[in-house]
Structure 1
């Protein structure tokens, strides 16, 4: 994990994905005149410096998420590369009509950056949960999805998002892996090779998967760019493991099943999808507790993979 100095104590504090994103985006605002930041109060304090120097390109619309995305769409029409930001359920679910109309229908593109992920602020209850966000983006064509697993992965992904021609959804989380992993393109990064199955893991669940499969004979591949999913690489890897595939994702279980099915329409395969369950958990404890209750901790993942392999 990267660190930053606390301005009050000079103590080193963990650098979160949001910290890394805001710091790098501030640099981009200073150096790239196309970049505009649109906020809805959330994280506004992180852009005070940038707003002083570029008040025309750092805009806070207040707690109006539909206006947030609509404003970003208008800036895209004007030739800017807008980055709109809020909590995932407000940015994606609440303002999805604006994503559909002000980006897709208008033929524009921008970058939407969320925090909160599926249940990061579990204490905030169901209003702040968004496990369905990536599934929603699968319904609009052409959007890329970036899901970093560590704060150090955020700046290069942001650079790619700003330089892209397509719309990009970047999903930041407080959940993270111990170490970053460099993925220079959209290819799957193979971290372990085995014979019984290919396990593809997205973003911050990598450490849990590595622990869960430590003594299993499986291939483990990592991605922080699940859209587009590297289905060509997946087919090549899974051919060596009997076309047995496990998809582990930090959002709604089964979100990528349609892509795997599409990639395998010409040959038989077995697929186990592991992700956030569809049943609402009405116990608003901590994110770690929700992870455990959804079976996304190492023990839960291990149990399901072992059953899939016929080892339980």
Structure 2
């Protein structure tokens, strides 16, 4: 996804004189050639993330379309006050593009983990949040975001699905079933499909999670015999639980939220795969959790 972003963004700098890139040392290698052609629209402020957001806010106030890029915790958490004041308070837009996701960079330890990034942005108004599951989706979502003036967060990850799906603000129905609805966000999809391969459930896919497709979820839930929902997100478990509750405020339902565990701060290095296992986002653990919640045996039969 990182390379896809660099290529798409370099093309955009060639095609649209309104676009500009603001960096804080990380990712500069993606724009070596583009910087030779557009030195005035690629700005590296050094390791000064708060300044990075101030510069981007100023560019937006001047009518440019800033794209701000660094590792997720340095993009969202460290300069969060500047994100709030320079964009939301001033009512201007930017495209924030992160890399590293929740635990993609374990060699750099806990300081480079950002499982709370989506939850943090969710506390601010009018942010569109994209969580692509494939490099092609990341490229398409960036291209869709650049022409506008809105506030957009594009969350890149090294964890990817085996194939892309068309990007949309609506949830994509990948499988129909009668015993519940499983919503997979971004790069969790392949694990969810493997975990539910023998279960009689509907599987929805989202590469855009804000705005939340309340209509799509309601349609899927109300078509089922049971109003049981499993939400699988690649960041803090339960981040979108309030959106599910709002979408189904008049519908009695049960909800299981799966994602990065909230009761665990992992200070070990390891690999992304090991962190995935620790948080229960591997197919085997997901399958056990989903079957237990839906009270199903393999094959989709009701237990007992």
> What's the TM-score bracket when you normalise by the shorter of the two chains?
over 0.9
The aligned counterpart of 1:10 is none
Mapped partners of 2:129, 2:116: distance in 1: 13
Q: 1:156 aligns with which of 140, 153, 166?
A: 140
Mapped partners of 1:61, 1:283: distance in 2: 31
Mapped partners of 1:136, 1:102: distance in 2: 16
Q: 2:27 aligns with which of 26, 43, 47?
A: 43
The aligned counterpart of 1:189 is 172
Question: Aligned pair 1:91/2:75, yes or no?
Answer: yes
* Runs of 5+ consecutive residues of structure 2 not aligned to the other structure: 298-304
Mapped partners of 2:148, 2:164: distance in 1: 22
* Runs of 5+ consecutive residues of structure 1 not aligned to the other structure: 1-16
Contact 2:131 2:185 in 1 (8 A): yes
User: 1:191-222: per-residue Cα shift (whole Å, max 9, x none)?
Assistant: 11100111111111100000000000000011
Mapped partners of 2:134, 2:234: distance in 1: 14
The aligned counterpart of 1:293 is 278
Mapped partners of 1:302, 1:130: distance in 2: 25
User: 1:84-110: per-residue Cα shift (whole Å, max 9, x none)?
Assistant: 000000000001001000001111110
The aligned counterpart of 2:48 is 64
User: 1:110-157: per-residue Cα shift (whole Å, max 9, x none)?
Assistant: 000000000001121110000000001110000000111011112210
The aligned counterpart of 1:284 is 269
Q: How does 1:135-146 map to 2 (within 5 A)?
A: 135-146=119-130
Matched residues, number: 295
SS at match of 2:284: helix
Contact 2:92 2:149 in 1 (8 A): no
4+ runs deviating over 3 angstroms = none
The aligned counterpart of 2:194 is 211
TM superposition shift of 1:311: 2.9
TM superposition shift of 1:285: 0.4
Contact 2:22 2:44 in 1 (8 A): yes
SS at match of 2:205: strand
**So what's the TM-score if we normalise by structure 1?**
0.93
Pairwise CA RMSD: 0.9
Q: How does 1:231-246 map to 2 (within 5 A)?
A: 231-241=214-224, 242-246=226-230
Mapped partners of 2:199, 2:150: distance in 1: 39
TM superposition shift of 1:282: 2.7
TM superposition shift of 1:289: 0.1
**So what's the TM-score if we normalise by structure 2?**
0.95
The aligned counterpart of 1:73 is 57
The aligned counterpart of 2:252 is 268
Mapped partners of 2:123, 2:23: distance in 1: 24
Mapped partners of 1:307, 1:263: distance in 2: 24
Mapped partners of 2:138, 2:13: distance in 1: 16
SS at match of 2:146: helix
Contact 2:133 2:164 in 1 (8 A): yes
